[in-house]
Structure formats: structure tokens, C-alpha cells
A and B are shown apart, each in its own frame.
Chain A
Amino acid sequence: MHKTGIESPQSVWWKPVHRSEKIWFTIAFVWCMVLFAMMPLWHLKGGQNPSGIRTRVAPADYRARVEEFVKTYQVGEESGIPVVEAPPGSDIYLQAQMWQWRPVLRLEKGANYTLHISSLDVLHGFNLYPFNVNFEIVPGYDYALRVSPTEAGDFRIVCDEFCGIGHHLMVGKMVVTDGAAADAAPPTPRTPMQGGDR
């Protein structure tokens, strides 16, 4: 006898499952296993994983690293922000601060970089326009992501974590060149972590 959900079931209600329910349960369970398997599989085979190399860093130390990076590789200036071009394979640094990204990065298509992001003050968000790639930026933490630009072009970095009244002013720039040097240069040194992760 079937009753509603607002009545107390009497005596033993541990009854055999309806056949349709059994079919759906089995299918749903299998689907859940597929969902679960996809994530480790993508770590092995896929090209996009949010793993990174994750370390703690004091905001003052991070600022010092960024300044040294800028001093070493600066090639110009745009809107008062230094433009920096580091050789393929190097560690590159991006600093988020209310309400500015620093520096402007110039990258080469197809080359590998280790992109460090961190914040000097509050939370910020890394949103790569127009590719819609998003990472959280937390003060006190260095998130080092192995990146390899797949397309040349003029990219923007939009802040997508609320960081105060000037949040909408926080737009940075990243330029990917076609890498004419790519054929001349020796094969890019692959970081040991490249491809997949761990």
C-alpha cells in the first residue's frame, strides 16, 4: 500500500524497491562514477588543470620578487605600467593590488611559462579576456601556474573578485606574440611539471 509523505509509515517499511526505481538508481550510480572518473582522467590526459605550484609568500616578499622581475626584463611602459618580456621557460610574475595589475606581460605563442599570481592586499580574481580562464588570487599565497599560450593576440586581465569600490578599474594586459623567434630559438626548456600535473 502506497501512502503520502506526511503520514507515518507503519510497522515494517523496509520493502522491496520498485522496478523503475531500481533501473534509475543503477543508471544514476553509473553516471556518478563517470563524473568522478573524468577529473583524474583530465589530470592525466587533459591540458587544463588548476593544480599549479602552491606556496605561501608574505605580500612584501612577493612585491620584491615582482620588482626584481620587472627590473630584469622590462622592455617598455604602457599607461604608466611597465611592459615586461621574459624569455620562454622563465618564471613570470603578476601582482594584483587595489586596483591595478602589474606588470604588462609579453609572451610568446607556444612557449611555456610559470605564471605566478598573488595579491598584496585583499582577494582579487584573475579572468583572462576573451578566453574566460579564471583563478582566485589570495594574499599570502603564491599560485604558480604552468601556462602555454595557444594563440597570439592582445589579451586583458579582468579582476573578477570584488575588491572594493574601484573593482571595475582593475584591467590588466597580456600580449602574446606569434613568436618569430620560435623557429630560431632552441627548444623551449620544459619545466619538469609540464603537461598534466603533480
Chain B
Amino acid sequence: MSPETSVAERAAAEPGRPGFRKCPTTGLWVHHQADKLIKANAVVATVALLVGGLAAILVLLTRWQAVHLLSAEMFYRVLTIHGMNMLIFFILFFEMAVLYFASAVLLNCRVPAVKTAWTAFVLMVVGTLMVEWTMFTGRADVLFTSYVPLRAHPAFYLGVILFAVGALMVTTIFFGTLVIAKKEKTYEGSVPLVTFGGLTAAIIAVITLLHGAAIYIPTFFWSLDMMHVDPEVYRLVWWGLGHSSQQINVAAMVSIWYLLGALTVGAVVLNEKISRTAFVLYILFISMASAHHLLVDPGFSPAWKVVNTSYFMYMAVLASMLHGFTVPAGVELGMRLRGFTQGIFGWLRKAPWSDPGFSSLAFSVAIFGFLGGITGVTFGTEQINIIAHNTLRIPGHFHATVVGGTALAFMGVTYYVIPLIFRKQVAFYPLARMQPFFFAIGMLIFSMAMTFAGTFGIPRRHWDITFTGAPFGVEYSPATDLVIAVMAVGGLVAAVGGGMYILVTVWSVFFGKPMGECTAANLKGRVPPGVYEIPARELPAARGEPEPELEEHGRLGTIPGTMILVFVFLAAFVVYYFANWKLLSFVWKIG
């Protein structure tokens, strides 16, 4: 670390802090309670991922009409289980771990209010168990959205409320940790960018969880026949929870991109001002995206729809486009500063593709941007939503963002969390190195095929698209059979990747070898290389050397590779966006 970042070194010179241990890779002081809370939340997240993943396979094998595994009743039940476990329990428990990491660990600070932290954890687990019980016993066949007036057992709503209260407590502890770290001067200067991103996620989490309370508390009373809930008001407020919770994911995922970049290749921050401003834009505008779900609803005016669905003139899209630039640019610049300066893409070829942290990062950025981002903005356009709403195009979009983007980034960072927090070697490390490739390529095929199937109008959340027993027949183009089969194959490949991840993490955590000495001799081939050969230490800033003058590649400047990549992205975006307007212009005149 550089002489400027003397906090870590000063800490190293200290004789030791009771209740803390020193991380040999980052030089940070880690509070034992932070360790334990991160572990507990990560373990529950993995269990939820396993449950949700098994449900995913069953759902997939039912939607694959050639197999059509489950009965109608079981299909909707298992689909509810899949949605709740993946989108709520897996992701939010993991994010609680991220919040403890981004505050206490990165700031060398203790976790304040330890008892409250554990109470929050228990509340979240109890809430989860209540929801699981109602779902598994068939008392809540209402899908993830639980749209009123479909009715679930009151324990379903109460479970969600308890879970949300617990999560709200953890975000409060996160804010408290920032205050205490500042007060106790455990770091110098400003908080690191990754912490800033965590702060963004926490603020969006508060917005989200308050919406959750605002809708699930009345709905709980409605389920007891004690009050009325309007279905359209439910949709409006519920999406303040349902969509905004995916924006917590976006902020957490982008933070993890910066974190993984730093750990795997010594990626730098081009400009703190730009990256932080982009995070602030998320806070200000991204929650408006809940309007994406209400564009073809009868309850809202066109003006309301246009202003909200565009996150007020696409300011949150601007933020994502900035992060989508600064993350690869930071990787490129970091690699170039470390001496990988050959040609335009030399830095990308020489990047550590066998490090699962790096391959996850690269795939996560690409899938989130090219598939998730472009489809999301396009389908979230007021009029284009007419040819996208409630078709398979929508789950095609969000599997690219939440699974190919967020979940993959979380998986990548897990390979660093195992050695750095659990203090274990990564079990079956060669398997771990392949895992992101299986998962990413599977999800890529799956979500592309799913989105494409949706353009034929095939509905999402549907048990039988042959409509057996319906009064009138519907026959989709025979091409859709092929597209759905491709989707199934992609999904199964991704499921193999997901299974590999669970095997590696569970085995490492419960039966893994202790990490031992943090040297290449001891750890090579057993943990990701960034743990023992720390790339960030090769940066000029860390060595205390002046930065070398980087070659200018004409108009493309000093980071030409990233410039080319973002222009390819923009071209894809423009083509897809206008192609959809063209598609829309072919349908009936409607107004």
C-alpha cells in the first residue's frame, strides 16, 4: 500500500487490537463479530440459493413443454418458492454480508450494537422460515408478487414484514458503523469507493424496505379481513419494494465490480468524482424504475408513466453507463499501469482469466450491460412495453441482470470471501475456476433464448402454453419449440454452474482446509491468485513511484480498449432500441 494509505500500515505496526485480526492480504483489521456476521449471512444466503436453484430446475423442466414435469398446482407453488428464495432471501442475506464487509471490514472498524445485529439476523431467519412454511405447505400459491386480491396465509405477509424489519436494522447498523469509524478515526480521508457504493445500496435498501412495510402491513391486515387494499395501489407500492430491491442489487453489484477489479487485477478508479456522482444518481433516480411494471396499467396517466419510467430523463441509465465505462476502464488502466501495455487489447488477453474472481467480473459486466441493460431500458419504454409486458421477454431481461449480473458478481467475490473472511482454502479449486464459465455461458444462452421466445408473445409465469382444455386453441410458431429447447439447455448448463458453486462453497466452509500462511508457496492452486500475489501492490501508487506516461492511441486516448468496447455497446443499444420501435409500429393502432 502507498505511503499515503498509511492507515493499514500504521495498523500493522500496532501491537494488535483486542477483538480484531489482521488480514494478511489487505492489511485491514477485521472485527471478529464482523467475521461472524458475514459468515452467518453468507451461509443462509447459500442455503436460499440452493432451495431457489432446485426450484429453478423444476420450473425450467416444466416450461420446457417437451418435458412438462410438474402439475399446474405444483408449478405455481415451485415458481413462488423460486422467486422468493432467489430475489429476496438469497440476494438480501448476501447483501447484508456485503454491508458488514463494506463498512466494518473496509474501514478497520468494529461492528457497533452487536446484540442488535444478531437480533436482526434472527428476525430475518424467522421471517424467512415463516414464508418458506407457507409456500411449501401450499398456503401461499401467489407467486413472488403476491398481487392482491390473490390471497395467501397471513403468516406469509407477516414473515416478509419480519424479514424487512431485520434488514432495516442491518442497514441502520451500517450507517452507525460509518459514524463510529469516522469518530474513532479508523480510516483517513474519505471512505473508499466500494464503501460509498455500499452506502448507496443501504440508502436504496431503506427506500425499498419502507415500501415493503407500507404495502405488506396493510396487506397483512387485509388477509385477516380487517381492511381493504386496492389492487392498483398494491401494484404501485409493491413495486416500490419489488423493483427497488433489484436496485439494491445494482448498487451492491457495481460496488463488487470495483472490489473484484481491485482484488484481481489492481483496477484503479479513474476519477472518484465521476464514479461517486454516478452512485448519487442511483440514489436520486433509480427507485422510479418501479414504474416499468405499470406502463400498460389503467391506473396511471401517460405523463406519470413517461417521467417515472425514464428515471427522470434516464439519469439512472446515465449512471449505469458511467459505471459500465469506469469499471472496464479501471481494469484497463490498472493493467497498463502494472506494465501490461501491449496493443489495444493486450491488457484483456493478459488478464487472469483463470481467476474465478476475474472471470466472474468480466462476464457479469458484459451480461448485465449488453443483455440486461439494453433490454431493460428498451422494455421500460412506455410504448415498447406494449410488446413486452408479461411475456417471456421480461424474465429474459431480469435473468440477465439479476442472475448473469448480480448473482455472478456475488459468486465471484465469494471465492475471495472464503480465504479472506472464512480463512479457508477454496475446495476443488480447479472446479471453482471453471464455475463462472459454466454459469455465465449457461445464463447467456438461457436469457437470450428466453427474451427471444417472448417476442413471439409467449406469456411468462404460465404452466401450459399449449393451452390444453381451453375453449379456443392457440398455436405458437413451431420455431418457438426450438427457442424454448435452447433456453432449457442454457438453463441446465447454468444450473450445473450453480451446483458447482454450492458444492465448492459449502465444502470449503464446512470441510475446507484452513488457509495457513498467506504465501504463494502455500496457496498456489488453492485460492484465487489475488489473495497472495496482490496486484494492487504493483501499482505505482502503492510502490511510491511516479506513474509512467501511457501511450496515446490517437483519438482513443490512453484506454483505447475500453473505448472500443463501449462504442460496440452503444451500437448494439441503438440497433436493439430502434428495432423495437419498428416492431411496435407493425401492431394494431392503439391509443
If A3-B2, A134-B391 touch, whether A164 touches B150 (CB-CB below 8 Å) is yes
Instruction: Establish whether residues A146 and B267, one from each chain, have CB atoms under 8 Å apart when the complex forms.
Output: no
Instruction: Establish whether residues A21 and B2, one from each chain, have CB atoms under 8 Å apart when the complex forms.
Output: no
Which residues of chain B from 324 to 349 have any CB-CB distance to chain A below 8 Å in the complex?
325-326, 329-330, 333-334, 337
A138 to chain B, nearest CB (A): 5
Instruction: Establish whether residues A150 and B589, one from each chain, have CB atoms under 8 Å apart when the complex forms.
Output: yes
Using CB atoms, name the residue of chain B closest to A195: B591
**CB neighbours of B477 from chain A (8 A):** 130
Which residues of chain B from 239 to 261 have any CB-CB distance to chain A below 8 Å in the complex?
255, 258-259, 261
**CB neighbours of A138 from chain B (8 A):** 231-232, 235, 297-299
A84 to chain B, nearest CB (A): 15
Instruction: Establish whether residues A129 and B298, one from each chain, have CB atoms under 8 Å apart when the complex forms.
Output: no
Q: Is B15 an interface residue (CB 8 A)?
A: no
Binding stretch for chain A, among B352-360, B435-443, B559-567: B559-567
Instruction: Establish whether residues A50 and B147, one from each chain, have CB atoms under 8 Å apart when the complex forms.
Output: no
**CB neighbours of B73 from chain A (8 A):** 165
Q: Is B585 an interface residue (CB 8 A)?
A: yes
A to B CB contacts below 8 Å, 11 in the list: A1-B2, A6-B262, A15-B273, A50-B296, A51-B302, A136-B235, A138-B231, A141-B299, A142-B298, A147-B588, A168-B72
Query: Interface size (A, Cβ < 8 Å)?
Result: 100
Instruction: Establish whether residues B563 and A20, one from each chain, have CB atoms under 8 Å apart when the complex forms.
Output: yes
Question: How far apart sit A137 and B389, CA to CA, in the bound complex (Å)?
Answer: 12
* CB contact between A148 and one of B193, B302, B589 (< 8 Å): that residue: B589
B257 to chain A, nearest CB (A): 9
Using CB atoms, name the residue of chain A closest to B318: A32
**CB neighbours of B191 from chain A (8 A):** 8
**CB neighbours of B258 from chain A (8 A):** 4-6
Instruction: Establish whether residues B318 and A123, one from each chain, have CB atoms under 8 Å apart when the complex forms.
Output: no
A74 to chain B, nearest CB (A): 17
* CB contact between A7 and one of B1, B298, B557 (< 8 Å): that residue: B1
Instruction: Establish whether residues B455 and A132, one from each chain, have CB atoms under 8 Å apart when the complex forms.
Output: yes
If A2-B269, A54-B298, A134-B391 touch, whether A8 touches B472 (CB-CB below 8 Å) is no
Give me the interface of A with B, judged by CB distance under 8 Å.
1-11, 13-15, 17-21, 23-25, 27-29, 31-33, 35-36, 38-40, 42-43, 46-52, 54, 78-81, 100, 118, 121-123, 125, 127-143, 145-151, 156, 158-173, 193-198
**CB neighbours of B382 from chain A (8 A):** 39, 42, 49-50
Question: How far apart sit A162 and B390, CA to CA, in the bound complex (Å)?
Answer: 10
Instruction: Establish whether residues B302 and A197, one from each chain, have CB atoms under 8 Å apart when the complex forms.
Output: yes
Binding stretch for chain A, among B114-122, B458-466, B497-505: B458-466
Using CB atoms, name the residue of chain A closest to B584: A48
Assuming A2-B547, A132-B456, what are 4 further A-B pairs, CB within 8 angstroms?
A7-B536, A48-B587, A79-B471, A130-B456
Interface residues on B, range: 35 or more
A52 to chain B, nearest CB (A): 7
* CB contact between A162 and one of B76, B193, B231, B318 (< 8 Å): that residue: B76
Instruction: Establish whether residues B383 and A168, one from each chain, have CB atoms under 8 Å apart when the complex forms.
Output: no
**CB neighbours of A78 from chain B (8 A):** 471
A22 to chain B, nearest CB (A): 9
Binding stretch for chain A, among B307-315, B425-433, B444-452: B307-315
Instruction: Establish whether residues A1 and B540, one from each chain, have CB atoms under 8 Å apart when the complex forms.
Output: yes
Instruction: Establish whether residues B26 and A6, one from each chain, have CB atoms under 8 Å apart when the complex forms.
Output: yes
**CB neighbours of A49 from chain B (8 A):** 302, 382-383, 590-591
Instruction: Establish whether residues B540 and A169, one from each chain, have CB atoms under 8 Å apart when the complex forms.
Output: no
Using CB atoms, name the residue of chain B closest to A52: B298
Question: How far apart sit A113 and B461, CA to CA, in the bound complex (Å)?
Answer: 30
A168 to chain B, nearest CB (A): 4
**CB neighbours of A43 from chain B (8 A):** 302
Q: Is B210 an interface residue (CB 8 A)?
A: no
Q: Is B387 an interface residue (CB 8 A)?
A: yes
Using CB atoms, name the residue of chain A closest to B106: A6
Q: Is B305 an interface residue (CB 8 A)?
A: yes
Q: Interface digits, B176-203 against A, CB 8 Å rule (1 contact, 0 not)?
A: 0000000000011111111001000000
Q: Is B551 an interface residue (CB 8 A)?
A: no
Instruction: Establish whether residues A81 and B386, one from each chain, have CB atoms under 8 Å apart when the complex forms.
Output: no
Instruction: Establish whether residues A31 and B570, one from each chain, have CB atoms under 8 Å apart when the complex forms.
Output: yes
Q: Interface digits, B133-152 against A, CB 8 Å rule (1 contact, 0 not)?
A: 00000000101000101100
**CB neighbours of B295 from chain A (8 A):** 50
* CB contact between B326 and one of A14, A21, A133, A142 (< 8 Å): that residue: A21
Question: How far apart sit A33 and B310, CA to CA, in the bound complex (Å)?
Answer: 10
Instruction: Establish whether residues A134 and B271, one from each chain, have CB atoms under 8 Å apart when the complex forms.
Output: no
**CB neighbours of B556 from chain A (8 A):** 20
**CB neighbours of A80 from chain B (8 A):** 471
Using CB atoms, name the residue of chain B closest to A107: B588
Instruction: Establish whether residues A156 and B274, one from each chain, have CB atoms under 8 Å apart when the complex forms.
Output: no
A90 to chain B, nearest CB (A): 16
**CB neighbours of A39 from chain B (8 A):** 306, 309-310, 381-383
Using CB atoms, name the residue of chain A closest to B470: A171
If A2-B337, A3-B5, A132-B455 touch, whether A172 touches B306 (CB-CB below 8 Å) is no
B38 to chain A, nearest CB (A): 15
Instruction: Establish whether residues B7 and A160, one from each chain, have CB atoms under 8 Å apart when the complex forms.
Output: no
Question: How far apart sit A32 and B285, CA to CA, in the bound complex (Å)?
Answer: 14
B361 to chain A, nearest CB (A): 12
A128 to chain B, nearest CB (A): 8
* CB contact between B459 and one of A19, A127, A136, A139 (< 8 Å): that residue: A127
Instruction: Establish whether residues B106 and A156, one from each chain, have CB atoms under 8 Å apart when the complex forms.
Output: no
Instruction: Establish whether residues B317 and A32, one from each chain, have CB atoms under 8 Å apart when the complex forms.
Output: yes
If A138-B235, A160-B460 touch, whether A165 touches B72 (CB-CB below 8 Å) is yes
If A31-B573, A39-B382 touch, whether A168 touches B591 (CB-CB below 8 Å) is no
Instruction: Establish whether residues B270 and A133, one from each chain, have CB atoms under 8 Å apart when the complex forms.
Output: no
Q: Is B549 an interface residue (CB 8 A)?
A: no
**CB neighbours of B259 from chain A (8 A):** 5-6
If A39-B381, A193-B591 touch, whether A136 touches B470 (CB-CB below 8 Å) is no
Instruction: Establish whether residues B230 and A35, one from each chain, have CB atoms under 8 Å apart when the complex forms.
Output: no
Instruction: Establish whether residues B189 and A10, one from each chain, have CB atoms under 8 Å apart when the complex forms.
Output: yes
If A2-B333, A5-B258, A169-B469 touch, whether A47 touches B149 (CB-CB below 8 Å) is no
